[in-house]
Amino acid sequence: MFEPKELANNVSRWTGLGVKLPKELADSIAVFEALQWTEVGHAPVFDIEAVTPKNAASKLRELADQLVLSEVPGGGLSVLQKAKMQAVDAAAQVVRSWGVHAIPEIISQLTPQFDEHVEAYVEAVGKLPEDITAEMLVSAGADAVTAFSDAQREVGYLNEIDGWSAQTAALLGIIPKHQEVVIRILQPESMDSSPSSTVTLLGAVLDRR
C-alpha cells in the first residue's frame, strides 16, 4: 500500500521546505540515495587480446565474476540487481523511521514561517470583495488586484505545507482517503468562517498514530 522507496523519496525532498533535517535523518537519506544511484547494470567485458598464456586463468575468473553479477537473459534480475533492490528497500525503511521521529521537529521549524504566511493570507483575503470575479476585481481597484495576487501566493505556500502534511500521514500508515483534508493544516479558532478566523499549524497526523 505504501511503497517504502516512494515514501523515502518524499522524505528526501523535505529540505525543499527550508528546514534543517535532524542528523540521523539526513544521514539515512544520504545512504538511501547513494544506494539508489549505484550503477549495477554493467555488461560483461572480455578482451581476448589482453589474454596471455600466463594470465588466461585469471582472465577467465574475471569474466566469470562479471557473468555472475550480470543481467539474466530474458529480463531477469542479476544477483547484483537483487542485492541493490534489497539494500535500497532496507535503507528506505530506515529513512521512513527517522522521518517519523523528525515530524515534531519539522513542525516546530515550520510553525513560525507558517504563521507569517497565514497572517498574510488572512490579511489579503480580508481586502477582497465577497464575490471574486475578474470584473469585481477590476472595479474594486488596484488594491484588490494586489490582494488577490498576494492571496494566491500565500495559497501556494499553504498547499506546499498541506502536501507535506499528507506525506507525514503516509509515513504513519494513514490512508489519505481517511483524512479530514479540511483540517489537515488549518483549524478555525471558532465556528466563525470569516477571513479573520485564526488558523494554526496542526500536528493532527501525530494524534492519529
For residues 57 and 138, which has the higher predicted lDDT (pLDDT)?
Answer: 57
Share of the chain above pLDDT 90, in %: 34
Q: What is the pTM of this model?
A: 0.72
DSSP annotation string for the chain: ---HHHHHHHHHTGGGGT-PPPHHHHHHHHHHHHHHT----PPP---GGG--TTTHHHHHHHHHHHHHHSPBTTTBPPHHHHHHHHHHHHHHHHHHHHHHHHHHHHHHHHHHHHHHHHHHHHHHHHTS-SS--HHHHHHH-HHHHHHHHHHHHHHHHHHHHHHHHHHHHHHTT--GGGS-GGGSS---SSS--STT-------GGGGG-
**Lowest mean pLDDT segment, chosen from 26-40, 84-98, 151-165:** 151-165
What are the backbone angles phi and psi of residue 114, rounded to the nearest 5°? -60, -45
pLDDT of residue 141 exceeding 90, the answer is: no
The mean of the pLDDT values for the chain is 80
What's the rounded mean pLDDT across residues 129-153?
A: 77
pLDDT of residue 199 exceeding 50, the answer is: no
Share of the chain above pLDDT 70, in %: 79
Kindly indicate the confidence band of residue 202, based on its pLDDT and cuts at 50, 70 and 90: very low
What's the rounded mean pLDDT across residues 197-201?
A: 36
pLDDT 10s digits, 46-78: 899 999 989 999 999 988 888 887 777 666 777
Listed by start position, the domains of the chain span 4-41+78-208
pLDDT of residue 3 exceeding 80, the answer is: yes
For residues 97 and 142, which has the higher predicted lDDT (pLDDT)?
Answer: 97
What are the backbone angles phi and psi of residue 164, rounded to the nearest 5°? -65, -40
Predicted pLDDT at 58: 94
